[in-house]
Amino acid sequence: MTDHTPGAPPVIVLVRPQLGENIGKAARAMLNFGLTELRLVAPRDGWPNPTAGPAASGADIVLERAALFDHLADAVADCAHVHATTVRKRGVTKPVLTPEAAAHEIHGAPGRSAIVFGPERSGLETDDVALARTIVTVPINPEFGSLNLAQAVMVIAYEWSKGMDLASPPGTLLDPPAPQDEFEGMFAQLDTMLDGAGFFHPPERTSATRRTLRTMLTKPGWTSQELRTLRGVLSALDGKKRRRG
């Protein structure tokens, strides 16, 4: 059933893909960013392809739902917006978008959108690009403009996902910073030990040296556990000095 709601997830269309492994890797890239609808146009080695599954690394739902077509026109027949990914215009005059701009258009456009990728070696042919409304080109190093199929799919899928509420990576729970009185207790202990060891020399530089120490020690957000550990170190050193005395 055709989805006419704005921002519907785009269809990923692979035209004449050559290797099953690359189809699997593209499926993996899709599912990483929440895309599940894959359409294949005349894959060279046929479909299904036994080498696609292992390369998909668990993105089986994408492969299982993949639809097979003989011609690109049939694969995008239900799509109101067709974007062709290519590094060259190939003689076809069409608007050229970055992946970010294309993603923005897809999120705001009513009806389905399709993003079309060409074969690994040659990319899309002129006739393929002619079916598209726009061209999407990834800004890339002109000295080395080589993206493999899965990488290209990942770049486009990532840009689309930025407009979605995908789950954020789990954060690491951090202990809260220690309260100031705990820090002052540690600093007083350190100051006493340094004073006893004759560290503050010459005497006229004592205030400046203390400020430098305080600045240095207050740069990190020390936790209570970290301060207890440091004070334990200081106590151990102080105890060792007393035993020697």
pLDDT digits (tens, 9 = 90+) for 25-49: 999 999 999 999 999 999 999 999 9
Of 161, 193, 213, the residue that ends a domain is 161
More confident residue, 74 or 220: 74
**98 and 150 in one domain?**
yes
In a domain, residue 168? The reply is no
In a domain, residue 187? The reply is yes
In a domain, residue 170? The reply is no
**133 and 79 in one domain?**
yes
SS3 12: strand
**126 and 21 in one domain?**
yes
**139 and 22 in one domain?**
yes
**155 and 191 in one domain?**
no
**131 and 186 in one domain?**
no
**131 and 26 in one domain?**
yes
Q: What are phi and psi of 10, to 5 degrees?
A: -75, 155
**103 and 205 in one domain?**
no
Of 161, 188, 218, the residue that ends a domain is 161
Q: Distance (Å, rounded) from C-alpha 217 to C-alpha 230?
A: 11
Confidence of residue 217 (pLDDT cuts 50, 70, 90): confident
Task: Give the list of residues 6+ apart from residue 47 with CB closer than 8 angstroms, or none.
Answer: 23, 40, 66, 68
- What is the domain count for the chain? 2
Return the ∠ at Cα 165 (arms to 33 and 5), rounded to 5°: 90
Q: What is the mean pLDDT of the chain?
A: 85
**24 and 138 in one domain?**
yes
**124 and 32 in one domain?**
yes
In a domain, residue 174? The reply is no
**202 and 129 in one domain?**
no
In a domain, residue 21? The reply is yes
Instruction: Please report the pLDDT score of residue 8 as a whole number.
Output: 82
In a domain, residue 173? The reply is no
Radius of gyration (C-alpha) of the chain in whole angstroms: 30
Q: Give me 54's structure tokens.
A: 């292992």
Q: What are phi and psi of 130, to 5 degrees?
A: -60, -25
Domain CATH number, residue 230: 1.10.8
Domain CATH number, residue 68: 3.40.1280.10
Nearest to 213 by CA among 186, 179, 232, 235: 186
Instruction: Please report the pLDDT score of residue 244 as a whole number.
Output: 63
In a domain, residue 149? The reply is yes
More confident residue, 234 or 1: 234
State the pTM of this model. Answer: 0.68
- Domain of residue 84: give its range: 11-161
In a domain, residue 3? The reply is no
pLDDT tens digits, one per residue of 95-129: 899 999 999 999 988 888 999 999 988 889 988 99
Instruction: Please report the pLDDT score of residue 42 as a whole number.
Output: 97
66-75 mean pLDDT: 96
Question: Strands (DSSP E) along 104-172, which ranges?
Answer: 113-117, 134-136
Instruction: Please report the pLDDT score of residue 166 as a whole number.
Output: 61
**190 and 128 in one domain?**
no
pLDDT tens digits, one per residue of 140-191: 887 887 789 999 999 999 999 987 766 555 555 667 767 788 878 888 998 8
